[in-house]
């Protein structure tokens, strides 16, 4: 028998007309087969200019378990904030549209939150036991970023701030979201830092993760924005 707990899975997207439908179908099929909780998928579209809105609305019209949310400004953090803020689910989660993280890692991610043992959970590509396939450039940048995080926040209490596979209880979200200023890629890291500052222990799950070679993330620009975000949180301003 399914639990009465509800879990929302947010998929933030920007110009994902090629990947969106296949990923939502795959995710919905997986949740239908394996998730013992009531679940809903929220497509959080942050200002797409291609056919993403058309596809997202069609998917939502075709299933009561899929919702389409449109924002007119870009920013992954903005999309997550909007989706999580309006949700009434017990556990709020998100994953990248490319589904780089093996979906079998999803229940280990959310289970301790559903049970009330943690308020925040993250997937980790750097914790012992993780299985990661990705190019050298992304591997090096990821490790440098996390070394910088460790140097600036030595008591941060987690390994991998950037993995696009996270969950939070509604109660924790209500407390932490107002404290997070970033609206883009540093949103994840800032959320975790604010959580630790408020005394939250973070549940970290080693994941199986395969890099999407078609990703359009601008690595250098994103890294610079993250560095500025770290500086702001550490030193103010």
Residues catalogued as catalytic: 188
**Cα(184)–Cα(225) distance, rounded to whole angstroms?**
9
Q: Please, where are the H alpha helices in 63-132?
A: 76-86, 106-114
Cβ atoms within 10 Å of 88's Cβ, excluding its own: 8
Find the farthest-apart pair of alpha carbons in the chain and give their distance in angstroms, rounded: 51
Contacts of 109 (CB under 8 A, 6+ apart): 93, 121, 122, 123, 165, 166, 167, 203, 205
């Amino acid at each position: 028998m399914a639990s009465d707990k509800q879990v929302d899975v947010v998929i933030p997207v920007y110009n994902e007309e090629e990947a969106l439908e296949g990923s939502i179908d795959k995710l919905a099929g997986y949740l239908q087969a394996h998730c013992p909780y009531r679940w809903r998928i929220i497509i959080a579209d942050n200002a797409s200019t291609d056919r993403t809105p058309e596809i997202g609305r069609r998917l939502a019209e075709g299933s009561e378990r899929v919702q389409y949310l449109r924002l007119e400004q870009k920013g992954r953090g903005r999309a997550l904030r909007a989706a999580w803020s309006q949700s009434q689910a017990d556990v709020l989660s998100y994953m990248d549209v490319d589904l780089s993280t093996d979906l079998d890692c999803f229940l280990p991610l959310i289970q301790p939150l559903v049970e009330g043992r943690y308020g925040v959970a993250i997937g980790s590509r750097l914790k012992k036991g993780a299985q990661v396939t990705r190019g050298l450039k992304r591997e090096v940048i990821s490790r440098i970023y996390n070394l910088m995080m460790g140097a600036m926040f030595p008591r941060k209490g987690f390994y991998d701030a950037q993995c696009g596979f996270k969950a939070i209880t509604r109660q924790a979200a209500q407390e932490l979201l107002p404290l997070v200023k970033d609206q883009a890629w540093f949103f994840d890291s800032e959320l975790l830092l604010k959580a630790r500052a408020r005394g939250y222990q973070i549940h970290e799950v080693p994941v199986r993760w395969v890099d999407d070679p078609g990703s359009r993330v601008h690595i250098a620009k994103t890294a610079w924005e993250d560095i500025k975000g770290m500086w702001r949180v550490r030193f103010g301003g």
